């Protein structure tokens, strides 16, 4: 569902231009493939699986050693402490590498990331982009960022403090619902454009165009 055509980009940029024609506020749209690599979470899963495997082996050593003896031909073997420790460590390493390797497949990797963590990191990345791209670049601090992260299936609307003081979270929630409704149907560009129109209507109400407005932020969709 990524935006690839010029027509899709035009849908978004035209929506931003039209919305900003009625407000002194500025709207920035950002589309990210993902907000984080989540390598730390993949590492934690691999470590947890490794220690779990070693712990189970340590709790039931005779069972596992019997299976190994059977695989080696059924002859009993007098296992030494050193050999048992080596087997335990080897099992842990194999489990670690295996779990890390299967998480190289992104769909599984993202499935294993807890939803609240996805929400937190998408918000964190949106705030970071807002601070870098918009925070000090608008006269009167009237900028709004619409941020969509595809892999996490999440979006954020971040506004400057003067806007946040006048607009309740419920209003942004309505804009978000309108935007996500289109995106869930597979219409990404139209969804972002719908969010832009809703945000623009709110800005026009609280920050109408003063007749001497300068376009301070790009109208185009920024794709990361």
CA 69, 93, 105 angle in degrees (round to 5)?
A: 120
Walk me through the domains of the chain, giving residue ranges and CATH numbers: 6-37+114-223 (3.10.310.50), 39-111 (no CATH)
Answer for the pair 198, 15: CB distance below 8 angstroms, yes or no: no
Write the pLDDT tens digit of every residue in 118-130. 999 999 999 988 8
Overall average pLDDT of the 11-30 stretch: 85
Distances (CA, A) of 159 to 115, 146, 189, 197, 209: 24, 9, 21, 15, 17
Is a pLDDT exceeding 90 seen at residue 47? yes
DSSP 8-state secondary structure symbol assigned to residue 187: -
The Cα–Cα gap between 133 and 121 comes to: 18
Rounded Cα gap, residues 63 and 67, in angstroms? 6
Where does the pLDDT of residue 27 fall: very low under 50, low under 70, confident under 90, or very high at 90 and above?
Answer: confident
Q: Which band of pLDDT confidence, cut at 50, 70 and 90, is reported for residue 42?
A: very high
Find the mean pLDDT for residues 22-41: 89
Comparing 38 with 130, the larger pLDDT belongs to 38
Picking from 37-46, 55-64, 92-101, 197-206, which range would have the lowest pLDDT averaged per residue? 55-64
Cβ atoms of 144 and 158 within 8 Å: the answer is yes
DSSP labels, 12-23: HHHHHHHHHTTB
Question: DSSP label at 220?
Answer: S
Residue with tokens 């990361």: 224
- Range from 32-36, 94-98, 139-143 carrying the lowest mean pLDDT: 139-143
Alpha carbons 156 and 134: distance in angstroms, whole number: 15
Q: What integer best gives the mean pLDDT of the chain? A: 84
Q: How much is the pLDDT for 83?
A: 76
pTM of the model: 0.82
Q: Highest mean pLDDT: which of 96-105, 124-133, 175-184, 215-224?
A: 96-105
Q: Closest Cα partner for 95 from 136, 49, 44? A: 49
Radius of gyration of the chain (CA): 26
């Amino acid at each position: 569902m990524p935006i690839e055509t010029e027509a899709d980009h035009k849908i978004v940029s035209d929506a931003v231009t039209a919305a900003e024609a009625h407000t002194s506020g500025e709207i920035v749209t950002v589309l990210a493939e993902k907000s984080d690599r989540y390598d730390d979470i993949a590492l934690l899963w691999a470590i947890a699986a490794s220690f779990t495997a070693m712990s189970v082996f340590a709790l039931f050593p005779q069972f596992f050693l019997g299976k190994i003896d059977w695989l080696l031909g059924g002859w009993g073997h007098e296992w030494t402490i050193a050999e048992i420790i080596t087997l335990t460590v080897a099992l842990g390493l194999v489990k670690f590498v295996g779990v890390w390797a299967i998480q190289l497949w992104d769909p599984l990797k993202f499935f294993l990331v807890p939803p609240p963590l996805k929400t937190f990191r998408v918000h964190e990345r949106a705030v970071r982009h807002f601070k870098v791209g918009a925070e000090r670049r608008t006269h009167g601090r009237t900028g709004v960022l619409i941020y969509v992260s595809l892999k996490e299936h999440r979006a954020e609307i971040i506004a400057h403090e003067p806007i946040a003081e006048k607009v309740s979270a419920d209003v942004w929630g309505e804009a978000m619902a309108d935007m996500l409704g289109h995106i869930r149907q597979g219409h990404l560009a139209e969804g972002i454009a719908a969010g832009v129109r809703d945000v623009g209507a709110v800005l026009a109400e609280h920050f109408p165009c003063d007749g001497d407005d300068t376009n301070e932020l790009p109208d185009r969709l920024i794709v990361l």
